[in-house]
Structure 1
Amino acid sequence: MTEPDLIAACLQGDPRAQRQLYNQFAGLMLTVCRRYLKRQEDAEEALLLGFAKVFRALPTFRQEGSFEGWVRRIMVNEALMELRRREPMHLSFEDFAQPENLASTPATADTQLQAEELLALLQELPTGYRTVFNLYALEGYSHPEIAEALGITEGTSKSQLSKARALLQRRLSGGRAAAQTNQPVYSL
């Protein structure tokens, strides 16, 4: 069944089509939710609530652009709402007030870094850092969009991204020392 046919069948209330749509996107969207929420149970809750919204909002999908992108945006918004319920968004400033502690170059994921390892590193970030990093680096949101979504200023969004990158780079640099003891090496 093509995607437009699947959407049409879901709009008709066909439970098999709804199950197929869920099965087609659930794994990917759970990964999206996990990037924002530390606990698997919270990510699963966001996923289920997100799919309920997808099915309710399906009549508003205008068949313009990617359906997967439309579903992803709903899931990101739901994960952010779940994040607000579960982990108050305290933006961390820790010891990053010093300019030398900030990342000076854009970070890129090295091919040695496995997806699960990256997720584990992201989960260790403070909530504010992790959320801004995910929205910017992984979802492609702009700083004005992040600021609006999180109720912060653009400057705070930029600062949180820079601090997240710096902290990730620091943690990855520590991984290089671990490589001498046959531990995996990470780099950003």
Structure 2
Amino acid sequence: MKDERTLVEGCRNKDRIAQRTLYERFAGRMFAVCQRYTRSRFEAEDVLQEAFIKVFSQIHTFRYDCPLEAWIKRVVINTAISYLRKEKAYLEQADIDNHTDAVAENETALSGIQYQQLLSLVRELPPGCQSVFNLYAIEGYQHNEIAEMLGISEGTSKSQYARAKQLLQAKMLESF
């Protein structure tokens, strides 16, 4: 079951061993993704389980044009975003474009901080800022992609990111 193609085909055929192998291979890294979008370990576990249910039910749509891990990660991120919407912990819709200009581009406070410390601080952000920060700074999406994914304007995405950076910098200065 080590070959990715064999693993995918096994999952498509509802082979429990293949499904378990796929889950065990990717669950740890995907749990870390879930933690970036949720406020507790319990919520992250829920999102992870829901995401893997979707992975197994949608595995027939996987094409080999991208790595399996990237496809699974996309399912996990989309599941986390859906979870946030369901829980009404969704983005503030106010577009504060003017605020973006006021935020300094000082990102030096983010360098050198431990991952767990940053994760803890990111979890304290308002839900909108948290989602945009994760998608832009950690997952590498562009603001136009984030806007489409979340159903917001590109300006809102930029302002939420700027606000997230400002809040994180303030929290880091407080903490350290």
Q: Does TM, normalized by the shorter one, top 0.5?
A: yes
Aligned to 1:26: 27
The equivalent of 2:37 in structure 1 is: 36
Tell me if structure 2 keeps the 8 A contact 1:29–1:75: yes
RMSD: 2.2
Map 1:41-56 → 2, pairs under 5 A? 41-56=42-57
What one-letter code is carried by the residue in structure 1 that aligns with 2:52?
Answer: F
- Aligned residues between the structures: 173
Query: Partner of 2:12 in structure 1?
Result: 11
TM-score by length of 2: 0.89
CA distance in 1, matches of 2:134, 2:149: 13
How far apart, CA to CA, are the structure 2 residues paired with 1:98 and 1:64? 40
Structure 2's unaligned 5+ residue stretches are none
Deviations 1:96-130 (A, max 9, x none): 9767862324568423x222111101001111111
Tell me the amino acid that sits aligned with residue 143 of structure 1.
H
CA spacing shift, 1:107–1:72, aligned 2, 3 Å: farther
Do the aligned residues in 2 keep the contact of 1:36 with 1:130 (CA within 8 Å)? yes
Displacement of 1:77: 0.4
Structure 1 unaligned blocks of 5 or more:
177-188
- In terms of fraction of residues, the more helix-rich structure is 2
Which moved further from structure 2: 80-89 or 61-70? Answer: 80-89
**Aligned partners of 2:100 and 2:163 also within 8 Å:** no
Is the counterpart of residue 91 in structure 1 residue 88 in structure 2?
Answer: no
Match of 2:70 in 1: 69
